[in-house]
Amino acid sequence: MASITTSVGPLDVQSIVSQLIAVDSQPLTQSQSRVSNYQSQLSSIGQISSALSSLQTASTAMASGSFLQQFQIASTDNTIASASATSGGVAGNYALNVTQLAQPRQLVFDQTSGGQAITDQNAALTGAPGALSFTVNGTTSTVQLGQNGSAVSLSSIADSINSAGIGVNASVVEYNNHYSLVLASSQSGPANAFSISAGGSDSGATSGNTLAGLGQSSAAASESAAAQDALLTVNGVNVSSSSNTLNNVINGATVNLNKLGQVTLNMSQNTANVTSTLQNFVSAYNQVISASNSALGGSMKNSSDVIGLQEQLSGLLSTPVPGANASSSYAYLAQVGITQQADGTLKLDSSAFTTALNADPGAVANLFGNAQNNGYANAFNTAINNLLGPNGMITTEQGDINTKISDENNLQSRLNNQLANEKSSLLNQYTTLNSELSAMQQSTSSLANLLA
């Protein structure tokens, strides 16, 4: 009798279900691809936004036109007078003849009241009062000594005066095992000089003074100094100053007097700094073009918004400054050496700019910023504010893309739930089918055995 055979075996349920789910997952994969593209668009918009912010910063630096008033100052002899440029300078030479330096009042005390030299700065002083009083600039301040029963010594007097912060500095100096107390006004000049009003006597000179059980030897008197102002002439004009640092004598410069003598200070325009400011603007503009070109060549191909941004910036460059005559003056950046290239980027010709600046500095300044706020720097600031503002292209574009990403994320959540339910259902179905096939196989096998 013929035998019955079967080749039915258990199904690979996991493999079958995985293949079926993979087919049905295509909408999810497509959504994930769209999100990836949107994320790339956000990155591109972010790069454009950052470049625009940098361009606005560079434009702001030129908005007032004062960036053209950058000067440098050089001294023919820094040992006599050195100088540094600040702002608002005027080019020219300034001849200085320094005949006296400013100095503070200084008194030196090197003896006890009995005329003995001081060999221990911490030893108690005989006859020291409980307080000292100094008058500085019409204000009298009292310094307490020997507080909490402590002895009054040279070092404790110095500590007490310094801690009081009254415009008098105190120090203890040691030489050949002898100690001296040195008092000096915190600031130079007669107006800031101190006087001893209690706790000692003040002759008003450098000698004949006493302080808290202290006196002066002839050597200490010679080491003392009267307060004096700095005296000099600037281009023949007499100048006096309580300080050796002069801030209001030469416009746009701080001058430091170092010793007596004659010196010339030369103030000239710092073309390097001016050029650097211009180059920052040019580089920032070119970065916007680069970022937008990258977006158009990548995730935002043919984006009308990005193309419109480039056209808007280019349009600013081709619009003359209102009121400026392009025939007799400067109305365009191109006329002063900042030109647009074929690829849309800018290029600075620093030589052409310097020539234009020397020819008509007022007209050049008007190009960037003026009282009417319609210079190129002003125009760029306004345009960028609009682009980055709440209703601007950048913010709107970012909002639209984020909305699309949110919609796709919601879609993916729904699709993931559907696929999870489908997978669970298919696993149940094929697991059941597998059980049924196994049972059929066992029945077939039993029947075959009976017929054998």
SS3 state of residue 219: helix
Q: What digits encode the pLDDT tens for the residues 361-406?
A: 889 999 998 889 999 999 999 999 999 999 999 999 999 999 999 9
Give me the pLDDT at residue 69, please: 82
Q: What mean pLDDT value characterizes the chain?
A: 90
Q: What is the DSSP letter of 107?
A: E
Q: What digits encode the pLDDT tens for the residues 50-60?
A: 999 999 999 99
Give me the pLDDT at residue 445, please: 66
Give me the pLDDT at residue 42, please: 93
Over range 93-102, report the average pLDDT: 97
* C-alpha span between 121 and 399 (Å, rounded): 75
Give me the pLDDT at residue 9, please: 54
Does residue 244 contact residue 232 with C-beta atoms inside 8 Å?
no
Give me the pLDDT at residue 24, please: 75
Over range 352-363, report the average pLDDT: 91
**Residue 231 predicted with pLDDT over 80:** yes
* DSSP, residue by residue, 6-62: -------HHHHHHHHHHHHTHHHHHHHHHHHHHHHHHHHHHHHHHHHHHHHHHHHTT
Q: What digits encode the pLDDT tens for the residues 8-51?
A: 557 777 887 778 777 877 888 888 889 899 999 999 999 999 99
Half-sphere exposure of 266 toward its Cβ, with a 13 Å CA cutoff? 7
Give me the pLDDT at residue 3, please: 45
Over range 139-166, report the average pLDDT: 90
SS3 state of residue 407: helix
Give me the pLDDT at residue 429, please: 78
Does residue 390 contact residue 384 with C-beta atoms inside 8 Å?
no
* C-alpha span between 109 and 91 (Å, rounded): 49
Residues with Cβ within 8 Å of 67's Cβ and at least 6 positions away in sequence, in order, are 61, 274, 277, 368
Question: How would you classify the pairing of strands 230-234 and 81-85?
Answer: unpaired
Q: What digits encode the pLDDT tens for the residues 270-296?
A: 888 899 999 999 999 999 999 999 999
